[in-house]
Amino acid sequence: MKYNFKYQHTSHYRTSHVVNRNEKEILIALHGYGQLSEYFLKKFEPIFKEDRLILVPEATNYAYLEGFAGRVGANWMTRHERETAIKNNNEYLNGLLENILLKYKNKPIIKVLGFSQGAATATRWVSQLALSVETLILWSGGFAHDLNFQETGEKLKNTEIIIALGNNDSLITPDSKEQQDEFISKLPFEVKKLQFDGGHDLNIPLLQKIFE
């Protein structure tokens, strides 16, 4: 027999600076498969600002990247028990954001960036989030394939959506791009598509332009 059991879990996240509750903007950046929050956060240093808090949650599934030793990476989910992982991710990110916002007198603008696997996780999360998100950036990734386009369209109708892809990204296949285009065509709003010279990584000049 198979059963479920809920328990308290400790997770980790990093921020661009000590939270002072005076920030006007919070950017929540979800890393990709096999990354860690410490190193992912460093990629955003060019857009650090005193009034912009960058928050990088770390996924709660860990594995060695090669063999049984060496570098460790985190991931948001695998195909094993994926529905449970999706639910856990949403509850984790909901609770983290709620906790961060507790002592703000003036609620900051919320922006979300998902990179690679983090992009799909971001779309699932914001599609059920009670709060509104001003901007959603899907970098080197796209909408989760299992989203309902009608529900997603209604939830994100007032959110700016940006997709940023490298022109040499070997992980973005023609099939996956076609599936994304089909999903986007059904949404009741415009999705801004940006391209940069590069592969499966953040492009700093484009990142700076988006957040200037």
Q: How much is the average pLDDT of 120-141? A: 96
The pLDDT-based confidence of 60 (bands split at 50, 70, 90) is: very high
Q: Which domain holds residue 200?
A: 13-210
The pLDDT-based confidence of 45 (bands split at 50, 70, 90) is: very high
Give a yes or no: residue 172 inside a domain.
yes
Give a yes or no: residue 3 inside a domain.
no
Q: How many CA atoms lie within 13 A of 10 on its CB side?
A: 0
Give a yes or no: residue 7 inside a domain.
no
The pLDDT-based confidence of 149 (bands split at 50, 70, 90) is: confident
Return all residues near 86 (Cβ < 8 A) that are at least 6 apart. Answer: 77, 124
Give a yes or no: residue 2 inside a domain.
no
Q: How much is the average pLDDT of 85-101? A: 96
Q: How much is the average pLDDT of 79-93? A: 95
Q: How much is the average pLDDT of 26-50? A: 97
Convert the pLDDT of each residue in 153-172 to its tens digit: 999 999 999 999 999 999 99
In angstroms, the Cα distances linking 27 to 2, 55, 57 are: 39, 6, 11
Cα(165)–Cα(195) distance, integer angstroms: 5
Give a yes or no: residue 76 inside a domain.
yes
Give a yes or no: residue 6 inside a domain.
no
Give a yes or no: residue 8 inside a domain.
no
Give a yes or no: residue 173 inside a domain.
yes
The pLDDT-based confidence of 26 (bands split at 50, 70, 90) is: very high
Q: For the domain that residue 103 is a member of, what is the CATH number?
A: 3.40.50.1820
* Residue reference for tokens 């960058």: 54
The pLDDT-based confidence of 181 (bands split at 50, 70, 90) is: very high
* Structural domain count, the chain: 1
